[in-house]
Amino acid sequence: MIGATQQPVTITGLGCHVPERVVTNEELAQYVETSDEWIRERTGIRERRMASKEEALSDVALPAVNAALAQAGFEGQDIDLLIVATVTPDMAFPSTGAILADRIGATEAAAYDLSAGCTGFVYALAQAYGMVAGGLATRALVVGGDLLSRILDWEDRSTLVLFGDGAGAVVLEAAEEPGFLGFELGADGGGGANLWLPGSGSRLFDEPERYVKMNGREVFKFATRVLVQSAQDILARCGVSVEDVDVYVPHQANVRIIDHATRKLGFPQEKVVMNVDRYGNTSSGSIPLALADGVADGRLRRGQLVLMTGMGAGLTWGSALMRWSI
Ligand SMILES: CC(C)(COP(=O)(O)OP(=O)(O)OC[C@H]1O[C@@H](n2cnc3c(N)ncnc32)[C@H](O)[C@@H]1OP(=O)(O)O)[C@@H](O)C(=O)NCCC(=O)NCCS
């Protein structure tokens, strides 16, 4: 799916939150045969956050939601759409969307979860855009967050070292000037088994599996291809050149994947937001956490053109191009 937007809708609030506990590479080396050197060299990750036993996704996401609402100047009851992009909801049902709507008092909101792997946040942005632009919703909250530590095999070094926990939230509203300029979203279920959680739903397996399984090399090839293609496609559709983009916010999976995409697309390093070293891959939390870092370090300011591209389980990918307006 690809399209340039017709109606002006933008982001008016952004908030993020990560669990307190920092897990270093050295700590992981106590559980699996790995080293700080290997992890830093192959992934760029130094540390990640992990939720405590008492925390569920809604607990980690709630402070992010409250911060986004505060920046936009709204209360929970002002929200009429709440989408949570995640593969690690509190439970299958009720949805984490419904749980969060209850916790913020969003009694007028349609609330649900959306599953698109690490691309979930971009998918949810596009969906909320459509509902606000189409007049179905007035103020939407989009949450992207995951506690991937809950579904990792603590004996599998090829996945354990890559992921972390975190969440972000944004408020979307109609605006005078366009915020979002276009979206490109795609999926290839044929490649799904390269990054999957078999045994987590209605398909019965002979050997049920509770943990993430990944073919790292195939995902690497997929990721480098789609990050570039999706970005090129949306820029072309919106008539925008790479030089016009002020800030590039790719999914924070791995420094090598980001570097590859950055080089191929032709972005100078100073335009690229990178925080995978501190958080690892936080799945649906990755792009909002990176947006917040871009704001915090002064690179992402009102009026600037920002390109976000995600990719992940599904396999899925997606880009959103927007003019930042807060
Ligand atoms: C997982 C990934 C970092 C592995 O890096 P790589 O350079 O491709 O490494 P390889 O898979 O070729 O493995 C090289 C060796 O390192 C080993 N290895 C894997 N994980 C390791 C770890 N944490 N510590 C030490 N050694 C490790 C492998 O077992 C392999 O050993 P072998 O040669 O004896 O078989 C890389 O493939 C990757 O980033 N893939 C994409 C993953 C991703 O981003 N997923 C989420 C997408 S949303």
pLDDT at 210 over 90: no
Beta bridge partner(s), residue 183: 3, 320
222-268, pLDDT tens digit by residue?
Answer: 999 999 999 999 999 999 999 999 999 999 999 999 999 999 999 99
pLDDT at 285 over 80: yes
Catalytic residue list contains 17: no
Question: Which residues line the pocket of ligand 1, CB cutoff 6 A?
Answer: 34, 38-39, 42-43, 118, 157-158, 161-162, 214, 216-217, 219-220, 223, 253-254, 281, 312
Q: What pTM did the predictor assign?
A: 0.97
| Confidence bin at 150 (pLDDT 50/70/90) | very high
Please name which of 31, 185, 23, 8 lies closest in space to residue 114, comparing C-alpha atoms: 185
At 16, which helix (H) or strand (E)?
strand 9-17
Provide the b/e sequence for 214-241 (b: ≥16 CB within 10 Å).
beeeebbebbbebbbbbbebbbebbebe
Determine the distance separating the centroid of ligand 1 and the alpha carbon of 191, expressed in angstroms. Answer: 18
pLDDT at 185 over 80: yes
Catalytic residue among 118, 238, 254, 275: 118
Beta-carbon neighbour count of residue 13 at 10 Å?
Answer: 21
65-86, pLDDT tens digit by residue?
Answer: 999 999 999 999 999 999 999 9
Catalytic residue list contains 118: yes
Determine the distance separating the centroid of ligand 1 and the alpha carbon of 258, expressed in angstroms. Answer: 16
| Confidence bin at 205 (pLDDT 50/70/90) | confident
pLDDT at 207 over 90: no
Q: Determine the pLDDT at residue 209.
A: 77
Q: What is the mean pLDDT of the chain?
A: 97
The residue nearest atom 25 of ligand 1, judged by CA position, is 34
Mutate to test the pocket of ligand 1, among 115, 217, 317 (most ligand atoms within 8 A of CB): 217
Determine the distance separating the centroid of ligand 1 and the alpha carbon of 165, expressed in angstroms. Answer: 20
